[in-house]
Structure 1
Amino acid sequence: MQNDATGPDSQTVTDMMDPARGAAFQVALGLAPTIATGSALPPFFHQLHFWDPQPPARLGRDGHPATGLGLIPDLGLPRRMWAGGRLAFHAPLLAGAPATKTTVIDSVTRKDGRTGPLGFVTLRHEITQGGKACVTEWQDLVYREDPAPDAPAPVPPQARTDEDLCRTVHFDSTLLFRYSALTFNGHRIHYDLDYARDVEGYEGLVTHGPLLAQHLMLLAEERLGTLRQFSFRATAPLMHVEAADLCWCTDGTMWVRGPDGRQCMQAQAA
C-alpha cells in the first residue's frame, strides 16, 4: 500500500484489493467465502482497503488519527461520528488488482446544535482501478463535545413498520472487533467498553455505522441485482448486544430498526 500526500486538502492511497481480506469479511458476516482473484467485490467492500496507519503519537484519545495533523482540520471537538454518506457505483472493483483512492475535502462547517457546537466535515473519495472510475463516495463526519454528566439522552426517531421485507441481524463484540481489524479502525467506542461508556456516554460498545450500511447494501444488491447508488444517514446508535431489523421497501427505501423500535439508520438504494 502506498500513501502519498498530494496537497493540504487531498490524499491519494493505492492499495491491492486483497481477495483474502474480502473473503475473511464474508466469513465474519456468516457468508460463504466466495471472493477470489478476479472476483467483483460486493458494494462497499472497499472499506476494507486503503488503510492510513498512523503511529501512536499521531492518534487522538479515541484511537483515530488526530485531527489537525492530516487531512481533517482540528475543530476543537473531541467526539467523532460517521453520520452518513452517498455512493455512486460506476464499475465493479476487482479483487487481486491494485486500485487508487483519492480523497478531498468537500466542505467543513461549524454550527450550534441543541446539545452544543457541532462540526461537519464531508470528504469525497474517488476510487479508480486500471484507469477506470469505479466508486465515488461522499463521507459525512460529525464532531461534537463530550456529553454533560447530567444531560438527558437524546430521543431517537421511531422506525417505520410498513416494510416489504425484514431481516434480523445480530451483533456482538467479536464481530465489532473483526470489522475494526479488517478496516483498521481504531475508534475505541467499538472495542473499549469503559471508554465508550465512561468517556463518550454510550450504554455499550457502538456498532459501526458503516457496518450497518454494509448490511443494507448487501440486502439492496440482493433485491435489485445491481446497486448503482446508495445513500444513508445514521439516526441513533446501536449497541453491540442488540439485534437489528434490516427493512426494505420495493421503492428502494431502507432503514435499520433497533429492538425497541427506534430508527438507527435510514437509507435509499437504486
Structure 2
Amino acid sequence: MTELRATDIIDPARARALQAALGLDADIGAGDALPPFFHQLYFWTPEPPDRLGRDGHPRVGGGLIPDLGLPRRMWAGGRLRFDRPLRAGIAAERRSVLEDARRKTGRTGPLGLVSLRHEIWQDGARCLTEWQDLIYREDPDPNAPRPVPPVARRDEVETRPMNFAPTLLFRYSALTFNGHRIHYDLDYARDVEGYAGLVVHGPLLAQMLMLMASQGLGPLAEFAFRATAPLVHTETAALCRNGSDLWVRGPDGRQCLQAEARPA
C-alpha cells in the first residue's frame, strides 16, 4: 500500500485566520491546542496549472487517487478519531494512504467511490486519524429528475442560523488550498456541474458542527459526518444539535449534512 507523507509547521497565524473568518476570537498562539478539524488548513499539495483538472483540483491519476473516468468530485463524508491535541507552532507530519477505490452503478448512474486515510503525527505521537470518503460522478443530465434529499429532523435542543457568503467560501478555499471551482466560480458551478449557486464546502459544514459539538460536549474522541444534499451560498442554514447528534438543515427543511460526535 503506497503511503504519501507531507510535513508542515502548524502555523498559528493560519489558525487565527480561520478563527477570524468564522467570526471567532483570533487567539490561537504557539503551543495552543488547535480546535478539532483545523488540521485541514495544513499539508497543502500545490500543483502547477498543467496538473490541474477542469474543476481546479489536482488531476486524478497522478497521486493516491486513480482516474475512474468520472469528472465530478464530491466530498461524501468522513470520520475522525482524536488521540491527542494537535498544537500550533510545532512541526507535524501527515501520512496518507488509499484504502479503497472502485466504480459501481447507483440510482443516478455510474459512481466512483474513493476512501482515503490520513494520520497526523506530532512529536512522535499520533494526534488524529481521518478517513475521507469521496464520490465521483458523471456530468449532470439537465433532463433527469433531481434526487429528493432527506428531510431533516426538527427535534434539536440547540440551533444556530448561519449564512455562508461568497467571501467566507473564498477565504475557506484559500486557507485550505482547495481549488474546487464550485466554491467560487458561479458560472462553473451552475453551468457545468448543475448547482443552483456556489456550493458550501462539506468540510466547512462539518467544521461548524464540530465546533458546536465541542462547545456542548467538551473535547471530542470521535466525529463522523455524511453529506446528504448540497447547500448553496444564497441559503441560510440551521446548525442543529440534540445530544451527540448534529445536522445541517436547509431553509426548505432538507437535511444537508448529518453527524455524530463522541466526547472524550
TM-score bucket of the superposed structures, by smaller chain: over 0.9
User: What is the aligned counterpart of 1:265 among 257, 261, 264?
Assistant: 257
Residues 166-221 of structure 1: CA distance to partner in whole angstroms, max 9, x if unpaired?
A: 11111110000000000000000000000000000000000000000000000000
Residues 101-126 of structure 1: CA distance to partner in whole angstroms, max 9, x if unpaired?
A: 00001111211011110000000001
Deviates more, 1:159-168 or 1:213-222: 159-168
Q: Is the 8 A contact 2:68 2:102 kept in 1?
A: no
Match of 1:48 in 2: 41
Quote the RMSD (CA, aligned, Å): 0.8
Distance 1:205 1:152 in 2: 21
Match of 1:213 in 2: 206
Q: Is the 8 A contact 2:150 2:254 kept in 1?
A: yes
Matched, 1:255 2:257: no
Distance 2:107 2:23 in 1: 40
What is the identity, as a one-letter code, of the residue corresponding to 2:129?
A: T
Residues 44-98 of structure 1: CA distance to partner in whole angstroms, max 9, x if unpaired?
A: 0000000000011110000000001111000000000010000000000000001
Counterparts in 2 of 1:171-186, with a 5 A limit?
171-186=164-179
Distance 1:33 1:149 in 2: 44
Distance 1:152 1:196 in 2: 18
What SS is found at the alignment partner of 2:27?
coil
Unaligned runs of 5+ in 2: none
TM-score normalised by length of structure 1:
0.96
Residues 200-250 of structure 1: CA distance to partner in whole angstroms, max 9, x if unpaired?
A: 000000000000000000000001111110000000000011111111112
Distance 2:221 2:59 in 1: 33
Distance 2:233 2:41 in 1: 20
Counterparts in 2 of 1:125-204, with a 5 A limit?
125-204=118-197
What is the identity, as a one-letter code, of the residue corresponding to 1:80?
A: R
Distance 2:54 2:14 in 1: 28
Q: How far is the alpha carbon of 1:133 from its aligned partner?
A: 0.7
Q: How far is the alpha carbon of 1:10 from its aligned partner?
A: 2.1
TM-score normalised by length of structure 2:
0.98
Distance 1:48 1:70 in 2: 20
Task: Could you list the structure 1 runs, at least 4 aligned residues long, displaced by more than 4 angstroms after superposition.
Answer: none
Matched, 1:104 2:97: yes
Distance 1:23 1:240 in 2: 23
What is the identity, as a one-letter code, of the residue corresponding to 1:113?
A: G
Distance 2:236 2:18 in 1: 19
